[in-house]
Structure 1
């Protein structure tokens, strides 16, 4: 089973990339977000891989982070959610946004993904609400921050969330972005740094 590939981007299509690993080209299926985040052809890249076995084929599905791969593994356990729908969700929402949507049971946010109707979105929220936090450290941190409430956050984080909300972002979006910023910059980051990193996350 292949769990990780590190090589050179050879070529890509609408939903796949070929990664050259020491002369062997691995075709890896990816979400739209992962394809956008990959470097151009000829540059080095690392993908965390889920190996999917079928009767007639073996498919490799690639992600930019282990957290995103963990969300994929959870998504495909939901009734009615296959690989295509899971990749559509992760191609529409970042790991931070998806964690926030699960934490807030925000069905509308998940339903933004192509091919995901209200019933499927509701099922995803219901089935993952108790399982997701225990699954990945990154998901736990991102999901916990929006629920804590501004008064429970460290002052720089609380101020950063308030600033992003004042700029027009939803509370859930702002909280998830600041959570990602804290992970990137550390617990001692000041408000200005968290706002800057939060805006960068929201622009992804």
Structure 2
């Protein structure tokens, strides 16, 4: 089992990133909450990881903070929720915000996260309410300034991978984008607008 990786950030294109650890490139899938704080390509990074093995695939997920990994794991304990929705949760809201939504039983806000319908949101509230107070935690962040050749296109693709339809993703990204914005900033603003 792989619990943590430290190495050089070799590639990043939401939701995928590659970390070079002594010449071995580990490909991981990560939520946007992690992408927001990644350093530039070529810099050192340390990620908490979650290793998942199914009958036909093996996946590795990466998180900058232990609290994100814990939430990723807890959300998947809810009946009918898998890794894709767990990543969408972390990409749509912070760990603290999610904990508050569950504690206050804000089903309406939870359904604004891609892939979560009313019944799923209600199950989350029921099954995670007891753990919600423990979900939020501290984690060390590594900050950097991401570089992108076409931030709008990158943001649009990332939004599609989070579950939005192509036309909707393009509309959201265009509405959020301003000159000089990084893809991560466009995605963050688009997701914040969608949750209002």
Place the TM-score, normalised by the shorter chain, in its bin.
Answer: 0.5 to 0.7
> Does the aligned pair in 2 maintain the 1:11–1:19 contact within 8 Å?
yes
Distance of aligned partners of 1:123 and 1:137 in 2 relative to their CA distance in 1, 3 Å threshold: closer
TM-score by structure 2 length? 0.66
| 3-state SS in 2 of match to 1:6 | strand
Aligned length: 139
Q: Cα offset for 1:118?
A: 1.7
CA distance in structure 1 between the partners assigned to 2:112 and 2:47 by the alignment: 25
| 3-state SS in 1 of match to 2:39 | coil
Residues 186-197 of structure 1 correspond to what in structure 2 (within 5 A)?
none
1:30 paired to 2:34: no
Residues 50-89 of structure 1 correspond to what in structure 2 (within 5 A)?
50-89=50-89
The one-character-per-residue Cα deviations of 1:55-91 (angstroms, maximum 9, x if unpaired) are 2222111111111111111100111111000100111
TM-score by structure 1 length? 0.63
Gaps of 5+ in 1: 140-201
Q: 1:121 corresponds to which residue? A: 121
The one-character-per-residue Cα deviations of 1:128-171 (angstroms, maximum 9, x if unpaired) are 0013435x5728xxxxxxxxxxxxxxxxxxxxxxxxxxxxxxxx
Gaps of 5+ in 2: 139-191
Instruction: Tell which structure's C-alpha radius of gyration is larger.
Output: 1
Q: What is the RMSD computed on CA atoms of the aligned residues?
A: 1.8
Q: 1:6 corresponds to which residue? A: 6
Q: Cα offset for 1:127?
A: 0.7
CA distance in structure 1 between the partners assigned to 2:109 and 2:17 by the alignment: 27
> Does the aligned pair in 2 maintain the 1:16–1:35 contact within 8 Å?
no
> Does the aligned pair in 1 maintain the 2:3–2:48 contact within 8 Å?
yes
| 3-state SS in 1 of match to 2:36 | helix
